[in-house]
């Protein structure tokens, strides 16, 4: 029986997930195919129905705009995904001839490991840009990094249900404000996590540059295409450390590979190095 996995989202043609996963499976010597499937929220139930009826599926990576919609499509939601209501990973487990789909969230681990790898301060003062599902994961990651209070800047303050619910469940105090007020707090924060779409932070980047103040903290920009983003360029010129979204993608994919292969302990530094090679990231050892 051939083994399969895929990344789901819309649009999806730009995804680097196939390169990451296929490099890992080749290094491990496991024959799992991995493709990108373009699917909208409206078509997700139909696709999941097909996948349930097909043998050999090991897992699904879930990206925008499906991370909340996937909640209702799995048999069980575990861990921080249950707390946040945000699923970016579906794995399949077999028990006594019955297959169950399990929803989980590896975005939180991806953010935590990416920010730590960049040398973030302990219990950092924090700013999150954006208020959707990935921002909810960012709040959970900040809690794990020791942050009890975060400022969240959004384009529309009425559309912050995901991040508010996450903060309430996790016990993180949020201050939600308009993106138009973000420049000075962003420039002075220890950690800034931008969950905005590509180019959506360009206006803020120009405002931060106009301040002509140092940006000494760590910026993780989840958007990785085009790269470098304008805000990443401005941040680096102010002296701060920049973490490309590819770093987060790498670390969340590492956790997915562990789930999909069911060989968690074998996903070691050598596997992570070939995953880095596949997307042009520097090698590292965890």
**Residue 264 — pLDDT band, cuts 50, 70, 90?**
very high
The two counts, helices (H) then strands (E), for the chain are: 11, 12
pLDDT at 132: 84
Closest alpha carbon to 194 in 111, 281, 82, 106: 111
Residues 233-241 have a mean pLDDT of 97
Exactly one of 67, 82, 143, 212 is catalytic; which is it? Answer: 67
Q: Is 67 a catalytic residue?
A: yes
Express each pLDDT in 213-236 by its tens digit. Answer: 999 999 999 987 788 999 999 999
What pLDDT shows up at residue 285?
A: 56
- Express each pLDDT in 125-146 by its tens digit: 999 999 988 899 999 999 999 9
**Cβ contact 139:115 at 8 Å:** no
- The average confidence (pLDDT) of the chain is 94
Specify the length of the chain in residues.
Answer: 286
What pLDDT is stored for residue 200 in this prediction?
95
Look at residue 78 and tell me whether its pLDDT is greater than 90.
yes
Token code pair at residue 134: 């990935």
pLDDT in tens, 26-56: 999 999 999 999 999 999 999 999 999 899 9
Model confidence at 154: pLDDT above 70: yes
Please report, to the nearest 10 degrees, the dihedral formed by the alpha carbons of residues 141, 144, 150, 156 taken in order: 20
115 — pLDDT class (breaks 50, 70, 90): very high
Burial (CB < 10 A; 0-12, 13-18, 19+), residue 266, is middle
User: What is the average per-residue pLDDT within 149-166?
Assistant: 93
* Average pLDDT rounded to a whole number, residues 262-269: 93
For 182-200, the pLDDT digits (tens) are 999 999 999 999 999 989 9
Report whether pLDDT(286) > 80: no
Which residues, 6+ apart, have CB-to-CB distance to 84 below 8 Å?
Answer: 105, 108, 133, 136, 137, 140, 162, 165, 166, 169
Q: How confident is the model at residue 10 (pLDDT cuts 50, 70, 90)?
A: very high
Structural contact between residues 101 and 46, judged by C-beta atoms closer than 8 angstroms: no
Flag whether pLDDT at 249 surpasses 80. Answer: yes
Q: Identify the three-state secondary structure at position 263.
A: coil
* pLDDT at residue 121 tops 70: yes
pLDDT of residue 1: 75
């Amino acid at each position: 029986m051939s083994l399969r996995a895929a990344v789901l989202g819309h649009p999806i043609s730009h995804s680097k997930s196939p390169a990451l996963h296929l490099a890992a499976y080749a290094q491990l010597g496991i024959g799992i195919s991995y493709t990108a499937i373009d699917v909208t929220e409206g078509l997700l139930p139909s696709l999941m129905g097909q996948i349930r009826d097909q043998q050999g599926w090991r897992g699904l990576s879930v990206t925008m705009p499906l991370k909340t919609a996937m909640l209702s499509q799995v048999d069980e939601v575990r861990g921080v995904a249950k707390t946040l209501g945000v699923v970016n990973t579906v794995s399949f487990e077999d028990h006594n001839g019955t297959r169950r789909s399990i929803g989980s969230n590896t975005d939180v681990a991806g953010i935590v490991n990416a920010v730590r790898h960049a040398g973030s301060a302990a219990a950092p003062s924090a700013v999150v840009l954006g208020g959707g599902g990935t921002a909810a994961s960012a709040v959970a990651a900040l809690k794990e990094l020791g942050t009890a209070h975060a400022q969240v800047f959004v384009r529309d303050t009425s559309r912050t249900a995901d991040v508010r619910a996450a903060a309430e469940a996790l016990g993180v105090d949020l201050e939600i404000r308009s993106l138009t007020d973000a420049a000075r707090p962003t420039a002075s924060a220890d950690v800034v996590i931008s969950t905005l779409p590509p180019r959506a932070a360009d206006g803020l980047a120009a405002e931060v540059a106009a301040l002509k103040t140092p940006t000494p903290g760590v910026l993780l920009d989840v958007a990785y295409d085009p790269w470098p983003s304008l805000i990443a360029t401005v941040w680096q010129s102010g002296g701060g450390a920049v973490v490309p979204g590819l770093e987060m993608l790498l670390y969340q994919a590492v956790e997915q590979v562990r789930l999909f292969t069911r060989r968690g302990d074998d996903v070691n530094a050598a596997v992570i190095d070939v995953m880095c090679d596949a997307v042009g990231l520097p090698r590292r050892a965890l």
